[in-house]
Structure 1
Amino acid sequence: MVSTLLVVVDGLRATDVQKMPFLTELAQRGVSYRQARSVAPSLTRPAAASLAGGAPPGVTGIAGNRLWADGHLIDTGRPDHLELLRSLRGDRLLPVPTLGEHLADHGRKLVAVGTGSNGCTLLLNPGAVDGHGAAIGARPFGHDAFYARPESVRRRLAGSLPQAGDGPFPELAWATDLIVDYVIPELAPDVLVLWSGELDDVQHGNGVDGPAGDDALSEIDRRLRRLIDRVREQAPHTDVIVTADHGFSNATHTVDVADIESLIPPSLADAVQLVENNGGLLVYARRRLRTTQIDAILDAIMSAEWSGPVFADGDVPGVLPPAGLWSARTAADGLLAYVSLTYHDRLGNPRIGHSVRGGARFAGGHGSTSAADMRIPLVLNGPSFRTAHESPLPADHLDIPPTICRLMGLPVPPSMSGRVLSEAGLLAPGNASALPEDRRVVAERGAADVTTAHFQHLAGRQYFLSADRHRS
């Protein structure tokens, strides 16, 4: 019987909770966090991998929605690309034990159901390929084929796919019904994960704070109410955690990767692979480079008008150290830098760019280090949690897997770097006396060009809040 239900609403901003009456009710009757954050980069698949492994993108190796690995461009939204990545990594997709595997080792089961990309669903429970629980991608329309693992689950569901005309968000309707009618009674998970991808799709095409987004929020809220009510009819003591993978922001401009590539010194053009990731950019080395060559590449990127905070190891003025995001130059996959495309221009106006490679321009997106992209909601509701409590403490994706372990009465694997959110629950009442310490890291390219990263430290953890670059 379900003990914990984790719901991830793709692209849900913390400020949007007030537009969702049911989620607002859950928050008011449970615990909500004012300072919850995404992992960085603030992208879907890095968040999914961190929710699975309880480790940051620099450890999971899923640093973007698109990666460069051993000469291959990997789209982490595609299961076939993830299978290739698994083979490149010695037959293990993530290098750390996942929550699903940890549960299986203790006789428990995790099932993930997703209406985002099928690759995202697989990342939530990579062990499903080996029979640890299940991963079900309820997105059978368009270019995505229906996906489910293990094979026995795929065969069982192959004949029950919804039709494209079944009202608004038919995948979400099918997924929530599937959870109640099939997943709970037949697969009997102890931990259930639902990933809703609909809002993200709508906001990419229409931006935020518009009628299309508001309609999507209302429909998702209605579906969540129906799902959680039905789950608790079967399992009244289910604890519910609702969060998002990232925030969202409207694009002010786009940056074509071809223009970025033209900035690289000609002698190094064939040594670098730039991988666009919406509001961010990953920079990879195709071959071994000297320190002076890497610095030349970073300096060229920093000099661009559209460039925001740059995270990398090096001595280039204005570049921020990886600061726990990853150790860039020692990364096995050759990752040199993460470039955020958010900055304030010389008039003080915020600018948020999205990287593209000759493709569609989106009205809205994420992936930058802006506060709008990094801040997410986090709501905990159920018998294990306090009621009517708003926590001022920081939290992020890494804290959710160890918290679920504690809820299940299981030890927390040492590979999970998050903390148990004990201040939210009845597990350790009164354990919220410590206050976070605010810290800043400043990198100057000149007196009129300053990049600042904001962190909070609590209970041995460093939380990355945001970073911005100001030109004056």
Structure 2
Amino acid sequence: MNKNKRELLAPPLSNKIPKMLPGRVKRRLFLGGLIIGMSAVTFWGGEFFLRQNPITLADIANQKKPSVLPPGQARLNLVLILDGLRPDSINPQNTPNIYRLRQQGVNYLNGHAVFPTVTRVNSAAIATGYYPGKNGIVSNSMYVPQVNPTKSFSTGEYPELLKLDQVTNGKLIFVKSLGEHLQENGMKLAVVSSGSTGSALLLNPRSISKNVGVLINGYFDPAKLVAFPPEVNRAILTRFGAAPANKDTNNDGRLNEAVDWSEKVLLDYVIPELKPDVVFNWLTEPDSTQHELGAGSPEAINVIRNDDRNIGLILDQLKKLGLYDRTNIFVISDHGFSVHTYTVNLTQELINAGLKLSKDSDDVVLASSGQAVLLHIKDRNPRQIEKIVKFLQKQDWAGVLFTAAYRPQNSQLGDSFAQQNKQNHLKPEGWVGGTFSLELIHEFNQERGADIILTFPWTSQKNAFGVEGTDFTETTSGTTGPLTGNGSGHGSMSPWNVRNTFIAWGVDFKQGVTIDTPVSNVDITPTILALKGINSNENFDGRVLKEGLKAGIHPIDIKVQTKVFTTTTRGYKASIQVSEVENQRYIDKSWREH
């Protein structure tokens, strides 16, 4: 579990990514007894300039707003989302088509998955342009008492999400989605997914309840229901039949068939006949294979090759349809991957410590994303929150912890944003000593947000196939202890999970450019709306990626600040690194120092 500082501050995935700033630019300040180490540096005109004071809300409000970009020329904006594809998996041998798009278009070296770095969180972020704290999808599993008063539920299956929508009077998500923005402007979104039905729905969350756009997934009710609206469902079943089984129990590449079915529907029906303006195309591999066998395994390479083959077919079809020169293509992933070396039965650990009554008790409810766990404390009891945090800080298997910026009152999280507006700055530390704030990482949500978020230790050691990144994970069965084998996952703030694939190619994007400005999945919706010439008047969390657009600005004109915050309490020490661009805050990584 010991990690040296040099390893922690190393560039995450490529020697092309700028290294962390040298120690001489670091400064220490004391905020209410919490030690916060900050590296606040702006890259401007090719040189580094030190900014010693934290950015305030006034700074953000007074920043020069970018001029309105002209609408893009593309007829089609196609977003290819490859579940779990690490950027270091892309090479000329295994992914010649993706590699070519990266070489010819814009290669964003500093891509970010949204934390928790899991599928449904990132699906919602991609579809809305907002982080979990605002869009309401805060974890892969969530605790919403109206759905189940004593347990969390998985967001992986769409019936659970429809139930959430029903019991909350249409609040599956709290904000407007890209599909709705497009429909209001006479345009159409189509989602084609071979992933889970839950992740598919979250890419177009009003497709069922409000008949927005098109939603296609072969597994809503196999052989009966594969798409919304009904006429699209009938057409697909008539022409393409039922989707093949999407369970690959033998790891023999059977999920390739699920991917192939979805891609055929996209190529032969969706693009040429439905003529959508925007497509979200979700390829379920390599996620499934990497979970079982690890990133870099021969089986993982096989399914990645199949994804790339399908992308080649897409490019060929665009040429046949005369769309090749009128299309923008994004190639992104929802998260990275790291091998599991240790497992923690957090429920049992809390029971053993006298901090939870029983496995199914509602005094503490866990909502797990594997490598990150949300803890919901009954009535948001501050004394119980403090007890649990102090217990976790004493455990070697615990990583970085997060609580709200202000102490809960009357069973409610502290009035965070009112307090911060009053004090004119973002409070990075949580209200419990030795924690960072939920607000800092975009996870503060009064209705669905956790009282505590726990992450686990990670390293940059290699797995059996030479792929860097290890992590601990939570389990609901078994015992706490070391793991062997190649089982892998994601969810944490390890750079190996945060750093995602992010490529943009097409008529509206610059050619042959590599950019290291931070970008994120939350930037997709604002960028597409700008390309479609839609002024939504939304105050998105994401931003328009104007530095990559032909009609945009030079990357050197983007001001970036990188900060490291450090907190200590009673022998516990943790740090978090964030990068700020305009009014956007990207979470780079966090770590505990033993």
TM-score (norm 1): 0.92
Distance 1:324 1:466, change over 3 A: same
Larger mean Cα displacement after TM superposition, 173-182 or 117-126: 173-182
Give the AA of the match of 2:134: V
**Conserved 8 A contact 2:431-2:437:** no
Residues 14-413 of structure 1: pairs in structure 2 closer than 5 A:
14-18=87-91, 19-70=94-145, 71=149, 73-129=152-208, 130-139=210-219, 147-159=226-238, 160-164=241-245, 169-234=256-321, 235-236=323-324, 237-262=326-351, 265-266=354-355, 270=361, 271-285=363-377, 287-313=378-404, 314-326=430-442, 328=444, 331-333=446-448, 335-343=450-458, 352-358=471-477, 363-413=487-537
Aligned-partner Cα distance in 2 for 1:301–1:437: 31
- What does residue 426 of structure 1 align with? 550
The one of 64, 84, 89 equivalent to 1:11 is: 84
- What does residue 249 of structure 2 align with? none
Distance 1:456 1:263, change over 3 A: farther
Distance 1:259 1:268, change over 3 A: closer
Aligned-partner Cα distance in 2 for 1:147–1:302: 47
**Conserved 8 A contact 1:342-1:369:** no
Aligned-pair CA distance for 1:155: 3.0
Larger mean Cα displacement after TM superposition, 119-128 or 359-368: 359-368
Aligned-partner Cα distance in 2 for 1:17–1:248: 14
Aligned-pair CA distance for 1:65: 1.1
Distance 1:64 1:232, change over 3 A: farther
The two structures, once aligned, show a CA RMSD in angstroms of 2.6
Aligned-partner Cα distance in 2 for 1:325–1:470: 19
Distance 1:430 1:157, change over 3 A: same
Larger mean Cα displacement after TM superposition, 167-176 or 156-165: 156-165
1:78-128 deviations in Å (ceiling 9; x for gaps): 111001111232213111010000000000000001111011001000121
**Conserved 8 A contact 2:191-2:215:** yes
Larger radius of gyration: 2
**Conserved 8 A contact 1:283-1:337:** yes
Distance 1:2 1:137, change over 3 A: farther
1:382-424 deviations in Å (ceiling 9; x for gaps): 0100011000100001111111011111114414221100110
**Conserved 8 A contact 1:183-1:189:** yes
Aligned-partner Cα distance in 2 for 1:431–1:331: 37
- What does residue 592 of structure 2 align with? 469
Aligned-pair CA distance for 1:301: 2.4
Larger mean Cα displacement after TM superposition, 405-414 or 97-106: 405-414
Aligned-partner Cα distance in 1 for 2:129–2:277: 18
The size of the alignment, in residue pairs, is 464
1:5-58 deviations in Å (ceiling 9; x for gaps): 000000011111224221111011000111111000000000000111110011
Distance 1:211 1:10, change over 3 A: same
Aligned-pair CA distance for 1:260: 3.2
**Conserved 8 A contact 1:131-1:150:** yes
Aligned-partner Cα distance in 2 for 1:379–1:298: 39
Distance 1:279 1:230, change over 3 A: same
Aligned-partner Cα distance in 1 for 2:176–2:393: 37
Aligned-pair CA distance for 1:131: 1.4
Larger mean Cα displacement after TM superposition, 216-225 or 1-10: 1-10
Give the AA of the match of 2:95: M
Aligned-pair CA distance for 1:264: 5.2
Structure 2, unpaired ranges of 5+: 1-73, 247-252, 405-429, 461-467
Distance 1:117 1:359, change over 3 A: farther
Aligned-partner Cα distance in 2 for 1:141–1:135: 13
1:289-329 deviations in Å (ceiling 9; x for gaps): 3322221122222222211111112443321112433464x
1:229-264 deviations in Å (ceiling 9; x for gaps): 213432121110010000000111111233333255
Give the AA of the match of 1:214: I
Distance 1:256 1:267, change over 3 A: closer
SS in 2 for 1:12: coil
Structure 1, unpaired ranges of 5+: none
